[in-house]
Amino acid sequence: MKLVETLLCVAIIVMLLATAGAYSLGRKTYAIRAAVGSFSAFVADARAVAQTSGSGATIVIADDRSGGFIAKLYPFRPVAGADLRAPPVRTLTADVDLTPTAVFISSSGTASASAWTPEGGTLAAEPACTNSITLTFGNGFSSEAHAIPCAQAELQ
C-alpha cells in the first residue's frame, strides 16, 4: 500500500510541475509578442517624429540590467548640426531581451543602424543599410527575429 501511495503522490507532483512549467513558458512567449507589438508601434511613432522633425529620428535600444530593454526615441539623427541635447520624446520598456543598437530613421522613412549612444557624439557618416536591420526579441526560452527593411522603416 505504501508504494502505491508514494507513486500516486509523485505522479500528482509531476503533473503540477508540468502544468506550472507550461503556464510559465506560455507567459514568456506572450511577453515576447507583447514587446514586438509595442516596439512596432514605437517604430511607427519614430517614422512620424522623423517626418515632422525634418532631421529624422533615432531609436536607442539599451539593456535595462534586469533582463529587459529600454528604448528611447530622439527627434534627430546624429549627423553634423544635430542638437544631441534634445531629450527623448518617448520611452519604451519591456521585460524581454533585445540587442542594444541604434536605429536611425530619415525624414523620408529609410532606416539604418549601428552601435551608437547619445554620449558618442555625432557620426561622421550615417551607416549604410544593405537590406534590413534584424532585431531579435528573446526571453531565455524562446526568441523571435523581426526585420526593419532599409527602404521602409517598419517592423515586420
pLDDT, averaged across the chain:
85
Q: Give the per-residue pLDDT at 10.
A: 63
Range of weakest confidence among 6-10, 53-57, 94-98:
6-10
Which distant-in-sequence residues (6+ apart) come within 8 Å of 45 by Cβ? 73, 90
* Residue 125 resides in a domain: yes
* Residue 6 resides in a domain: no
Q: Give the per-residue pLDDT at 45.
A: 94
Domain span holding position 110: 26-149
Q: How far apart are CA 84 and CA 78, in angstroms?
A: 7
Q: Does the pLDDT of residue 22 top 60, yes or no?
A: no
Q: What percent of the chain stands above pLDDT 70?
A: 85
Q: pLDDT-based confidence at 85, cuts 50/70/90?
A: confident
Domain count, the chain: 1
* Residue 154 resides in a domain: no
* Residue 2 resides in a domain: no
Q: What is the CA radius of gyration of the chain?
A: 21
Q: Does the pLDDT of residue 36 top 90, yes or no?
A: yes
Q: Does the pLDDT of residue 72 top 90, yes or no?
A: yes
* Residue 111 resides in a domain: yes
* Residue 8 resides in a domain: no
Q: Give the per-residue pLDDT at 24.
A: 53
Range of weakest confidence among 13-17, 66-70, 143-147:
13-17
* Residue 100 resides in a domain: yes
* Residue 21 resides in a domain: no
CA angle 62, 109, 127 (to 5 degrees): 55
Instruction: Say if residues 39 and 94 touch (Cβ distance below 8 Å).
Output: yes
Q: Does the pLDDT of residue 58 top 90, yes or no?
A: yes
Place of cell 521602409: 152
Q: Give the per-residue pLDDT at 103.
A: 95
Range of weakest confidence among 1-10, 60-69, 140-149:
1-10
